[in-house]
Amino acid sequence: MPFDYPQTGFAVQPLREVIVGGVRESLLILVGAVSLVLLIACANVANLLLARATGRKREIAIRAAVGAGRGRIVRQLLTESVILSVVGGVFGLALGYVGIRAILSVSPGNIPRIGLHGGNVAIDWQVLAFTLALSLVTGILFGLVPALQSSRADLNTALKESSNRSGTGLRHNKTRALLVTTEMALALVLLIGAALLIRTFIAIRNVNPGFDARNILQMRMSLTGPEFAHVSGVTRLVHEGLRQINAVPGVEVAAATCCVPLEGGFGLPFQIIGRPPGPTASGGSGWTMVSAGYFETFKVPVLRGRSFIEKDDGGPPLVIINQALVKQFWKHSDPLNDRIVIGRGVGPAFTDEPPRQIIGVVGDVRDGALNADPRPNMYVLSSQIGDGEFALASQIVPWAWVVRTRVPPLSLSNSIQKALQESSGGLPVAQVRTMEETMSRSTAAQSFNTLVLTIFGCSALLLAAIGIYGLMAYSVAQRTQEIGIRMALGAGASRVRNLVVLQGLRLAAVGVIVGLAAAFGLTRLIASFLYGVKAWDPLVFSSVPLVLLAVAWIAVWVPALRASRVDPIEALRYE
């Protein structure tokens, strides 16, 4: 049945925006998280190369002394760095292939061109080329500083200095200390972002949806054919279908509807009969077609008035509204005394829409998503709407059957589908799932973002711990003679251990302070993903730094313990 609606304007939108507009921010956050982890990993590699270059000072000095130019030395060190980076890229590519399969197995399927469970993702030549280019660039960039630093060493000093005394102490390792501090700051930013999303996910899961999702089975059916061209045919199907469903052992109550909570719905304007023109006389609201038993199936509380009953099908036009609509238009009056007209001016389908008496007020139900506030809504009986209204709605969304059971819902799936096929003349049933699955789907995107950012945050924490451990272990190894002298002069093992621990924690604390300052600004980028928690949540900003410092303490404890066990005699003999 064609419908002609007046066109008041149009909008133009780029196709790319249509495809990725809904997930652009998510993808940018994921790219940012990947970039931060990459920087931390590169800082670790640069630290490794700096330490290795320090240990090779005499070797490089000898090469320079026998005629090797600075450019040749730099090229040699850069070649080693690039080879290390490319080999790491190859292993990372293999690990990434396995990891991406695991991550995308829980993908909500809302990322364009990925599809549900990542079925369309594959490693192709573009990914290989990007990995190779990234490996080369990072190898050159993060190998250049160690190469330049090593190539300009003073030959006379380097040849006289013993390898175990070169660059001792953190004051001689300023570049490496700066890299470790940077790692700690970047790791803190990622961990704070992950913690905020975790708190958001917990808050969403604890939201009251306005209905009881337990033991509810839902399924869809497209009502096609001449017998459903009129609402009377649909009403007969609803009566017969619900009669047969309720006869299935284990079924408590059932209903039919156009729109299931958390899956969106329709919106229509309405006017309140008898009110003088003004902002409180008309407005817009959600609009849901239901059968008798809908509110009982979802256990939506009836706050005032009454619910629909089967006898209302042949009676005067009725409507039930939710509490959100009452708060907006009936702040100081009783809505049960008023009538409203729905859809006036929308189009031909609503031309004959009659005034409807408000007979009840029900609790608010979250129609769109758990992290979205309940919208004002109107509920009408499917048997009391016009043919054009039902045909228009059916073109947009299939008819839904919802069943509350006394046993696990899926155990009755086959019996309920059989009952519906018998009552509908064999129409197929699709999208069979429980309401708990629907609730899980509504939070799938937040769950996926939280999972991925948490993985990146934990990876950053591990890399930062490795970085500070490596720096302190190298510092202890280089300061073996100094520590031996301290202990020979009377310094106790605990004092030496505390000295190393404090040096390491000092670096971690600086990184935490810098990371906190950066996090205060960067967390605003994920503010649109947060729910029930502020971007500067005090709990997150106080607990995450403590966790990071605790991990840093564990990382520096091992080198500190090793330092406290240095034998002074062996250390003084060591050359």
3-state secondary structure labels for all residues of 370-423: CCCCCCCEEEEEHHHCCHHHHHHHHHHCCEEEEEEECCCHHHHHHHHHHHHHHH
pLDDT digits (tens, 9 = 90+) for 201-246: 888 888 889 999 999 999 999 987 788 888 889 999 999 999 999 9
**Secondary structure element (H or E) that encloses residue 322, with its range:** strand 318-322
DSSP type of residue 354? P
Task: Look at residue 332 and give its three-state secondary structure.
Answer: coil
Contact 291, 255 (CB under 8 A): yes
- The reported pLDDT for the residue numbered 449 is 78
Q: CA quadruple 71, 77, 80, 86: dihedral positive or negative?
A: negative
Which tens digit of pLDDT belongs to each residue from 74-108? Answer: 777 788 778 877 887 788 777 777 777 776 666 66
Burial of residue 173 (number of CB atoms within 10 Å: 0-12, 13-18, 19+): buried
Query: Residues 327, 306: contact at Cβ < 8 Å?
Result: no
CA distance 541 to 546: 9
**DSSP H or E stretch at residue 205:** helix 174-205
Q: At 149, which helix (H) or strand (E)?
A: helix 125-151
H or E segment and range at residue 287: strand 282-290
pLDDT for 218: 95
Alpha carbons 138 and 46: distance in angstroms, whole number: 10
Q: What is the pLDDT of residue 293?
A: 94
Question: SS3 of 47, please?
Answer: helix
> How many other CB atoms are found less than 10 A from the CB of residue 99?
12
399 beta partners: 221
What's the confidence (pLDDT) of residue 330? 93
Token match 């280019």: residue?
133
Per-residue model confidence (pLDDT) at position 319: 96
Where the chain has pLDDT below 70, the residues are 1-13, 15-25, 53-59, 61, 63-65, 67-68, 103-124, 145-173, 570-575
Q: What angle do CA 287, 212, 416 make, to 5 degrees?
A: 85
Q: Which residues contact 430 (CB under 8 A, 6 or more apart)?
A: 219, 220, 221, 222, 398
The percent of residues in the chain predicted with pLDDT above 90, rounded, is 30
* Residue range 294-314, pLDDT digits in tens: 999 999 999 999 999 989 988
- Residue by residue, DSSP assigns 496-517 as HHHHHHHHHHHHHHHHHHHHHH
CA–chain centroid gap for 13, Å, is 26
